[in-house]
Each structure stands twice: as C-alpha cells, then as structure tokens.
Amino acid sequence: MNMPMPHGFQPAETVGREAFRDAMASLGAAVSIVTTDGPHGRAGFTASAVCSVTDTPPTLLVCLNRSSSAFPAIAANGVLCVNTLTHEHEALSAVFGGKVPAEQRFSAGSWSRLVTGAPALDDAAVSFDCRVASMSDVGTHRVLFAEVLAIRHSPAASGLVYFGRRYHPLHHGA
Ligand SMILES: NC(=O)C1=CN([C@@H]2O[C@H](COP(=O)(O)OP(=O)(O)OC[C@H]3O[C@@H](n4cnc5c(N)ncnc54)[C@H](O)[C@@H]3O)[C@@H](O)[C@H]2O)C=CC1
Ligand SMILES: Cc1cc2nc3c(=O)[nH]c(=O)nc-3n(C[C@H](O)[C@H](O)[C@H](O)COP(=O)(O)O)c2cc1C
C-alpha cells in the first residue's frame, strides 16, 4: 500500500551529500578545536562533531575527516585535547577550520599542556585532555572514542554555537 509522504520527507535512498549537509545546518552545535602533539607532530582542527558517550569511563567521541591535515598526527599520537570555544574565539575557529596553513595555526591563541601533552587552549570554556581508547572508520571519517584523563574549565565562560552555517554567541542567563 502506498502511504502518502509527510511534507518534507525524503526516502533514504534519495538523500545525497548536499541534502544531508543542508539538513545538518539546522542542528546547532558547540564548536571545539581538537589538538594533538607527540612523536608524530602537533596538529589541530575545528570540530563540531563532538559528543559525550558515557561518564564511566568518561568518554567523548570526535569525528575526523581522514583527508584532514590533522588526521595522521591525531591517529598516530593517540592523544587529543578537545578545547570548547567561547564567543571570543570565532576568529580562532576559522584559523583551525582551514583558513590558515596547518603549521601556522598555533601562533594564534595561548596554549599550555595538561596531562597528555596535546595543546590546551588557555581561555577555552573547557578543555578535555584525552587518550584515544578506540576508533572506527565510517565513510570519509574516523570516529575517535577518547577517554578523558584531565579537565580544565571556566564555568563562567560564554559559549559558541555553529548553526545555519554561521556562529552564534551564547551567554549565561541569556
Ligand atoms: N563533520 C564534519 O566533518 C564537518 C565539516 N565541516 C566543514 O566545514 C566547512 C564549512 O561547513 P558549513 O559552512 O557548515 O557548510 P556545509 O554545507 O559544508 O555543512 C553543513 C553541515 O553539514 C555537516 N557536514 C559538513 N560537512 C560534513 C562532512 N564532510 N561530513 C559530515 N557532516 C558534514 C555539518 O554538520 C555542517 O555544519 C565545510 O568544508 C565542511 O565540510 C563543517 C562542519 C562539520
Ligand atoms: C564550524 C566547523 C566545524 C567543523 N567540524 C568538523 C568536524 O567535526 N570534523 C571534521 O573532520 N572537520 C570539521 N571541520 C572541518 C575542519 O576544521 C577542516 O577540514 C580542517 O581544519 C581544514 O582542513 P585542513 O586542516 O586539511 O586544511 C569543521 C569546520 C568548521 C568551520
């Protein structure tokens, strides 16, 4: 029996990359800079595909395009730091989102180290210093399951949300 299609519904087999991206542009997401350092070099990229998985053990997931300049170093070092940005970091997000060559990115921002040696952004809303516990490839991306070894946060900091292909500031109580 042919059921009528609800307005706006598209069967899965007709959803292409552009339709998926257009749909994803309707999801607001926190913006982070994910970094690494170690024997395989220092690297970082801007990420919105970051999610809490479980608190036992404390684990985040990060989805990283395998064609990204940061991929070889993050995969091989096995450590990363997720630095969640505030409304003051819009320009820094662009730097790590591809606007600046990889080797010049860390001259923007002030960085220190927590436990793993991956760069932690000093004025981030929160930094999660992690070791990569496991990973899995899905399509173009690698899904990194990252166990959190240390946290540094500024509870009063603002937030930065990426929604509708642009940045939006978030403030406490607003
Ligand atoms: N998960 C990812 O790999 C993301 C990549 N980007 C990249 O940043 C640039 C600018 O992005 P927008 O201005 O938001 O326009 P856009 O049209 O490329 O992306 C719209 C939305 O689709 C999703 N998306 C984009 N590329 C994706 C990918 N390769 N795999 C899975 N999801 C993806 C994201 O949620 C993004 O906010 C593009 O080059 C885009 O590929 C942006 C956000 C997430
Ligand atoms: C707001 C924003 C969110 C992004 N989120 C992700 C993400 O979650 N995963 C990813 O692989 N790339 C993401 N990107 C794209 C990478 O930041 C970008 O590909 C990379 O820094 C530039 O590529 P390059 O390092 O190879 O020059 C995002 C870009 C922007 C601007």
Instruction: Report which ligand 2 atom has the smallest distance to the Cα of 50.
Output: 8
Q: State pLDDT tens for residues 91-144.
A: 999 999 988 888 899 999 999 999 999 999 999 999 999 999 999 999 999 999
**Segments forming the whole domain that contains residue 40:** 19-162
Residue 170: inside a domain, yes or no? no
Question: With a 6 A CB cut-off, is 164 part of the ligand 2 pocket?
Answer: no
Query: What pLDDT was estimated at residue 1?
Result: 47
Better-predicted residue by pLDDT, 10 or 125 = 125
From atom 21 of ligand 2, which residue's Cα is the shortest distance away?
97
In this structure, what CATH number is given to the domain that contains residue 70?
2.30.110.10
Asked if residue 70 is part of any domain, the answer here is yes
Q: Which ligand is nearest to the CA of 94?
A: 2
Give the rounded distance of the alpha carbon of 133 from its chain centre.
17
In the prediction, which pLDDT does 156 show? 81
Residue 173 covered by a domain: no
The predicted structure's pLDDT at residue 5: 64
Answer whether 44 contacts ligand 2 (Cβ < 6 A).
no
Number of domains forming the structure of the chain: 1
Which ligand 1 atom is at minimum distance from the Cα of 47?
Answer: 44
Shortest CA distance to 138 belongs to which of 28, 36, 43, 61? Answer: 61
Cα(54)–Cα(65) distance, integer angstroms: 23
Ligand whose nearest atom lies closest to the CA of 65: 2
CA distances to 3, 7, 9, 25 from 127, rounded to whole Å, are: 49, 42, 39, 25
Residue 99, domain member (yes or no):
yes
Whether 42 maps to a domain, the answer reads: yes
Indicate whether this complex's ipTM tops 0.90.
yes
Give residue ranges with CB within 6 A of ligand 1.
21, 24-25, 48-49, 63, 65, 140, 165
Q: For 135-170, what is each residue's pLDDT tens digit? A: 999 999 999 999 999 999 998 889 999 999 999 999
pLDDT-derived band at 70, boundaries 50, 70, 90: very high
- Quick check: is 13 in a domain? no
Counting ligands in written order, the one closest to the CA of 64 is 2
- Quick check: is 172 in a domain? no
User: Is 7 part of any domain?
Assistant: no
Q: What is the pLDDT of residue 157?
A: 81
